[in-house]
Amino acid sequence: MRFKRLAEYFEKIEKTASRLEMTRFLAELFKEAGAEEIDLTVYLSLGMLRPKFEGIEFNLAEKMMLRAVSTAYKVELKKAEAEYKKTGNFGAVVANLAQPGQEANLTVAQVYKRLLDMAMDEGLGSQDRKVKSMAKLIQDLDSLSAGYVVRIPINNLRLGFSEMTVLDALSWMAKGDKSLRPELERAFNVCADIGLIAKEYKNKGIQRIMQIKPQVGVPIRPAKSERLPSAEKIAEKLGVFGVEGKWDGLRVQIHLDRASAPSSSLRASAGKQTLFENESQALVRIFSRNLDNMTAMFPEIAKAMEQLPVKSVILDGEAVVYDPKTGKLLGFQDTVTRKRIHGVGQKAEEMPIKVFVYDILLVDGESLIDKPFTRRRQILERVFTPSVSETLKLAEQNIISDVEQLRELMTKYLQLGLEGVMCKKLDTAYQAGARNFNWVKLKKATEGDLVDTIDCVVMGYYFGKGKRTGFGVGAFLVGLPDEKGTVGSIAKIGTGLTDEQWRELKTKSEKCKTKEKPQEYLVDKNLEPDVWLRPELVVEILADEITRSPIHAFGLALRFPRLINFRDDKNVSDATSRKELEKMYRMQKG
């Protein structure tokens, strides 16, 4: 397929606000794409080159892209900057500066390879080489194609759909409806490479998709928990169930394969920070809740994995830092400081980490996700007997059926500094990517009526007055996503932050500022912030209650909201949803 054809589809998709029409356009695109390029087409349509967990980064900032555009069209940099300042849209900058009548015959695969080569270019002088390579690519494309290509490296393509819409479109491609979505989503949940899923489906059909199993090195989308308002409700719903602690740390999924050392091609595609290769050539990968590869950040976890008596394994657990002098577990804000590229070894000594492992999804090449939780637990206990290290710890578990026992365990874990308990059904499979009542969390009671904190998307911020003008932020707007991908406002927050939190909010906001209101945002004109942010920053919010609202997007708002944590380990898909908010509203006490 010619890249220009892909750009024409992008233009159609960008001009429609209808989710159904968008899905149909994508289905037509995927049907037209060749079997050898469907994965590349899917990646590019999502504004990326490889799955997120491989960590491919362009490292091409907006200023560098403006240099590339000005070089390509032989105009002064100031003119390109002025066009961008006027429009705030790189596609419009290209359209206004491009020479009329320019045509190109580059294919999707050719454009993809040139972009990938740029992204993989590292070392001395790489930035200048990237600018020159991008300028040459722009020159080799028509203006429509170039207008979309320049937006990909700066994370600005954003056509308004996600991997879930891609799955819908793949079903539409073959059936003309969403009937195959459940099987496609199941496969994506256990093998979170959307391009691979598309390629397998295009080449081999739904029968191949039904056979897809977990693979070491490719993350499984983690199972999620539901909420119930009280210990009594949990005991009533679950009957006989397992109880484990709920740690306030980082969700981690750890992969080990002794027999499969990373090949040179895999290492090249994964980038510098994604692999740990030990002396015996074992492959270890550590993934976050939102599928970021954190392997290089936790060398002690990778080392501890080497002691496990298995050939291959995938573990699910929670990583928490502790005070090396007292042994006391610390909180999320301390744990998240371990997410770093530089100074990893020193930080590991200052703030060592424990991983409390509570599930096992694969062992010695055999998938366990379809086995009941009791069987997975038996296998997990066998792997961890005897205890393998101080870094990897088997999560303690109690099997109970009584509400008083649940209250006693809740008290015990709270006294140990945990944030509550996780209650789990014993006879269920591991449902990757799903949120249901197989797992139910019970957290420490708050002063208000809410049964849990709420993970919100920061939509934008206001400049503020007085002292806060020094921070650059005086208040911020948060919202939640609905099932269609719309992010609607639920609260404007202007109090309850420390000076340090205000500064951190400003620093994090700088990384996702955008000149235009994101098209998926639903915000009343009286609430529009001074600065819009792309939907990338997630924060944990505590409120006294959820109330009816005539101004916020979904008719609900938070009363007395305050910031608890910045959740760098979560993205928009991990935020509390509109449906969950409505359920929490109904669950409020009284």
pLDDT tens readout for residues 160-219: 889 999 999 999 999 999 999 999 999 999 999 999 999 999 999 999 999 999 999 999
- Residue 422 included in any domain: yes
Average pLDDT estimate for 303-315: 94
465 and 571 belong to one structural domain: yes
pLDDT at position 247 over 70? yes
257 and 380 belong to one structural domain: yes
**Would you say the C-alpha torsion 380, 382, 384, 388 has a positive or negative sign?**
negative
Average pLDDT estimate for 508-527: 91
CATH number of the domain to which 482 belongs: 2.40.50.140
* Alpha carbons 457 and 512: distance in angstroms, whole number: 12
Model pLDDT, residue 447: 45
User: Looking at per-residue confidence, does 112 or 485 come out higher?
Assistant: 112
Chain centroid to CA 561:
24
Model pLDDT, residue 277: 43
* Alpha carbons 219 and 216: distance in angstroms, whole number: 8
295 and 435 belong to one structural domain: yes
pLDDT at position 262 over 80? no
With beta carbons less than 8 A apart as the criterion, state whether 198 and 42 touch: yes
- Residue 117 included in any domain: no
Domain boundary among 409, 443, 477: 443
Identify the three-state secondary structure at position 69: helix
- Residue 490 included in any domain: yes
* Alpha carbons 554 and 419: distance in angstroms, whole number: 29
- Residue 82 included in any domain: no
With beta carbons less than 8 A apart as the criterion, state whether 220 and 212 touch: no
413 and 523 belong to one structural domain: no
> With bands split at pLDDT 50, 70 and 90, how would you rate the model's confidence at 454?
very high
Domain count, the chain: 2
Average pLDDT estimate for 329-343: 88
Average pLDDT estimate for 310-314: 96
437 and 468 belong to one structural domain: no
Q: Is residue 341 classed exposed, middle or buried when 0-12, 13-18 and 19+ CB atoms within 10 A define those classes?
A: exposed
Q: Which of 361, 291, 193, 485 is nearest to 184 (CA)?
A: 193
463 and 389 belong to one structural domain: no
- pLDDT > 90: percent of the chain: 71
271 and 411 belong to one structural domain: yes
CATH number of the domain to which 230 belongs: 3.30.470.30
Chain centroid to CA 349:
28
Q: How confident is the prediction for the chain on average, in pLDDT?
A: 90
Q: Which of 80, 171, 88 is nearest to 531 (CA)?
A: 88
Which residues form the catalytic set?
246
- Residue 196 included in any domain: no
pLDDT single digits (tens) 3-49: 999 999 999 999 998 889 999 999 999 999 999 999 999 999 999 99
* Alpha carbons 69 and 288: distance in angstroms, whole number: 36
Chain centroid to CA 498:
27
Domain boundary among 414, 443, 472: 443
230 and 310 belong to one structural domain: yes
With beta carbons less than 8 A apart as the criterion, state whether 132 and 120 touch: no
Q: Which of 394, 358, 355, 405 is nearest to 241 (CA)?
A: 405
232 and 342 belong to one structural domain: yes
338 and 278 belong to one structural domain: yes
Q: pTM of the prediction?
A: 0.86
Model pLDDT, residue 260: 62
372 and 400 belong to one structural domain: yes
- Residue 126 included in any domain: no
Domain boundary among 387, 412, 443: 443
- Residue 118 included in any domain: no
Model pLDDT, residue 186: 97
- Residue 214 included in any domain: no
422 and 487 belong to one structural domain: no
Model pLDDT, residue 215: 95
Q: In terms of residue numbers, what domain contains 555? A: 454-587
User: Looking at per-residue confidence, does 588 or 270 come out higher?
Assistant: 588
